[in-house]
Amino acid sequence: MRTILIGCLGLLALGSGCSGTIGSTGETGGSAGNATTSSTGATSGTGGVSAGGSGGQPSTSTSSSSTGGVGGSTTSTTGGTGGMASTDPCASASDGKHCGAELGGTADHASVYTWASGTTTNAAPCGNGCMDGACIEPPSDPCQNANAGNGDYCGASLGAGDANTLYTCQNGSTASKKVCQAGCQVQPPGTPDTCKPNGDPCDFATAGDGAYCGGSLTQNGVPQGDLNVLYTCQNKNVASTVTCPNGCQINPPGVADACAPVNGGTCCLNKPPGALTQSYTACGGGGVHYGIDYGTPNNTPIYAGMSGTVVGSALGYPNCYNNGCSSDCWNSFNYVKLKSDCGDPEHPGNDLYIYYLHINDLAAGVGNGTHVEQGQLLALSGNSGCSSGPHIHIETVTVPAGQNATLNSCKSENPANRYCP
C-alpha cells in the first residue's frame, strides 16, 4: 500500500516545509462559501488553500514567514505565493534508484526515487512497498495480503486482485473466489467483506415502512441485504442505509431493527482502515505532522468515526504531487469535516472536530448538514492534493464548546488518544 501525506499537514515535502492553516470551513448549511487561509511558515513555508462550504470553490490567500527553519528564507507576501525551499533530499545520495526509506525523513518510504547529480529526477509510488531500489511486485496470490487472518476479503481490501471479486483466504492462499455481480462491499474492520446484494433489499420489507437489518430482509430464508447494514425502507425502496460497526440487531416483530450499541455507548473514535504510514508528531512530538496517515487503496470506504454532523467538505481537487508540491498544491485537497455529537472524550466540555483528508468523494446522500451515525459510510478514500500515494489523513481538533476548528495547530491533538479500545 502506498503511503504518507506530504505537504502542509506536517511532513516536509521533499525538502520544503510549511504549516499552513486552513480557515473555517463551511458550517452546517453553508453553500458556496469562500474561506481564506493564513499560515505562519514554521520552516520556510507558504500558506495554502482553504475550503469553503459545500459547492464553493476554495480561495487562495497566502502569506509566509521564515522562523529560522530549514531551507532558507522566503518572501513574505499577502495574496501571493511564498518561495519554496531549495534543498533536495537527494543531495547527498548516489546516482541511481533508491527506496525512500534509505533517505528517511522527508522521503516517501514506499516510493522509488531516481537520483542524478544530487537531484531527484523521478519519484514513483509503489503500491506494495519498495525494496532494493525497486517496487515490490504484487503478490501472485492476493490472499498473501490477508493481514487479518482467514476469511472473506474484497480485492480492494487486499490491495491486489480484482476489486469486484470476493476472495476466501485460508492461510495466505485463495481457497475460493466469487465475482460479485453488483460489486464487492468492503466492511468495517473485524467484519468479513461481502458481495453487494443484487436488486433492492427493501422489496422484501414485509412489515411495511421502517428500519430493517439486512438479515430481516429475506427471500426463502436467504438474506437479501448486508447483515451489518440497517436499511430504512419506504414503499419497498431503500431510503437510506447505515453500516453498523457492532452488527445489526434484529428485534422482535413490531419493534424496529437497530444497530447494536457501539463500544457500550461510550464516547470514543473508531480508527480508520488501512496500514499506518505516518504517526502524529506535532506539538512536542518531534515533528510537524498534525494527524495520522493510513495507506489504503483508492475508494476504500471511510466510516464515520463518531456520530456527528458534517459541517464542512470540499471536492474537485485532483492529485497535484509531482516529485514534490508547489505552494498552490500544499493545501488543495478534498476533505470532509465532522463535528462529534458527544464532544471530546479527552476534554469534557470541548467540541471535537474530525477531519478526513485526501478523499475521492462523499458517500451518497452525505453533505454539509448531514447527520451520520458512528460506523455509517461517510466518504471514499483517495489521493487528492499533495499526496504521494492513496491514503487517509485523520486529524482531530479540540476547541472550547461553540468555537470553530481549523487544521494545523496544537489544537489538533493525537487522534490515537481517542480511539475506541
pLDDT of residue 28: 34
**170, containing H or E segment:** strand 165-170
**Cα four-point dihedral sign 374, 153, 109, 384:** negative
Cβ 16 vs Cβ 39: under 8 Å: no
| First CA to last CA distance, the chain | 25
Residue 7, pLDDT > 90, answer no
The rounded distance, in Å, linking the Cα atoms of 17 and 280 is 16
pLDDT of residue 329: 86
The rounded distance, in Å, linking the Cα atoms of 160 and 143 is 8
Report the pLDDT averaged over residues 255-278: 83
pLDDT of residue 34: 38
pLDDT of residue 4: 41
Mean pLDDT of the chain: 76
∠ CA 170-297-325 to the nearest 5 degrees?
150
φ, ψ of residue 212 in degrees (nearest 5): -135, 135
- Quote the pTM value: 0.47
Q: Using one digit for the tens of pLDDT, what is the confidence trace for 210-239?
A: 899 988 998 887 788 888 888 999 999 998
Query: Left if phi > 0, otherwise alpha if psi is -120 to 50, otherwise beta: which for 210?
Result: left
Cβ 223 vs Cβ 212: under 8 Å: no
Residue 33, pLDDT > 80, answer no
pLDDT of residue 262: 61
Q: What three-state secondary structure class fits 340?
A: strand
298 or 194: which carries more pLDDT confidence? 298
Percent of the chain with pLDDT over 90: 37
The rounded distance, in Å, linking the Cα atoms of 247 and 242 is 11
Residue type, 150: N
Cβ 387 vs Cβ 278: under 8 Å: no
Report the pLDDT averaged over residues 289-318: 94
417 or 119: which carries more pLDDT confidence? 417
pLDDT of residue 30: 36
How sure is the predictor about 403, in pLDDT bands with cuts at 50, 70 and 90? very high
Q: Which of 86-90, 103-107, 152-156, 250-254 has the lowest mean pLDDT?
A: 86-90
The rounded distance, in Å, linking the Cα atoms of 113 and 77 is 33
Look at residues 27, 45, 62, 12 and name the one whose alpha carbon lies nearest to residue 388: 12
Residue 181, pLDDT > 80, answer yes
The rounded distance, in Å, linking the Cα atoms of 25 and 19 is 17
pLDDT of residue 245: 67
pLDDT of residue 370: 92
pLDDT of residue 106: 61
pLDDT of residue 35: 36
Determine how β-strand 292-295 pairs with β-strand 20-21: unpaired
